[in-house]
Amino acid sequence: MAEIEIIADASDVEIATWLLERLEAALTLDPGEVAISVPGGSTPFPILAELAHAPLDWSRIAVWPGDDRVVEESHAASNVGRIRALLEPAGARIVPLAEDARPPHFALVWLGMGGDGHVASLFPNTDPRADDSARLRRLTPDPLPPEAPFDRLSLTIPALLDSDRLLFVIRGADKRALFEEAGAGGNDLPVARLLAAAAQPVTCFT
């Protein structure tokens, strides 16, 4: 079971500062390229916009989406398209998900969580497993979210856990309560399965 630190009422700037410190530390420890994974959705992009201006050696950072909709990068629903628009001008290497992708070890995996307890695109109907033999899967959420009715490519629990640290940014009291319940083993939702198998530090900003 993961050791979870919850930091309440954090601003986007405070979260971006926390990320900057962790990325600087990772770059100091590793002389090569450092890989991170970031989520889609509305919450992360203002934080990423703050981080994009940080004085990092972005040329040594590879950024993977934790999941993506199976659409062209130019589509408004594409996570990697939005990530590329923000971080590629800063110098980061952006890695689109593909069915033959081989996710690396990540210095940091940043996740959101849906109101149904899904992480990345590991929705409850997909029955994600901590012992999944695959590191990436093509999945169909059921029900399909009406705002994004597309199949997904998603890192699996083992791929997400192949990381030094997990970060969650969760807004809203209901989601925080669900996350805390999952962290205490009080449900069997995808987020609970991930947290139950995590051994690395977990930080959750609310």
Compute the distance between CA of residue 39 and CA of residue 169 in angstroms, rounded to an integer: 10
- Tell me what pLDDT residue 51 has: 96
Q: How confident is the model at residue 19 (pLDDT cuts 50, 70, 90)?
A: very high
**Cis before residue 143, ω within 30 degrees of 0?**
yes
Residue 42 confidence class, pLDDT cut points 50, 70, 90: confident
Q: What mean pLDDT is reported for the chain? A: 95
- The CATH code of the domain that includes 27 is 3.40.50.1360
Q: Within 13 Å of residue 194, how many CA atoms lie on the same side as its CB? A: 34
Q: Is the pLDDT of residue 1 over 70?
A: no
Q: What is the pTM of this model?
A: 0.95
As a whole number, mean pLDDT of residues 21-28 equals: 97
For residue 33, give its domain range: 4-205
Q: Which residues pair with 154 in a beta bridge?
A: 67, 137
| Cα–Cα distance for residue pair 155/83, rounded to 1 Å | 16
Mean pLDDT of 18-35: 96
Question: Is pLDDT above 80 for 145?
Answer: yes
Calculate mean pLDDT across residues 88-99. Answer: 97
SS (H, E, C) 69-86: ECCCCCCCCCHHHHHHHH
Count of structural domains within the chain:
1
Say if residue 115's pLDDT is above 70.
yes
**Among candidates 198, 199, 179, 197, which has minimal Cα distance to 189?**
179
Confidence (pLDDT) at 153: 98
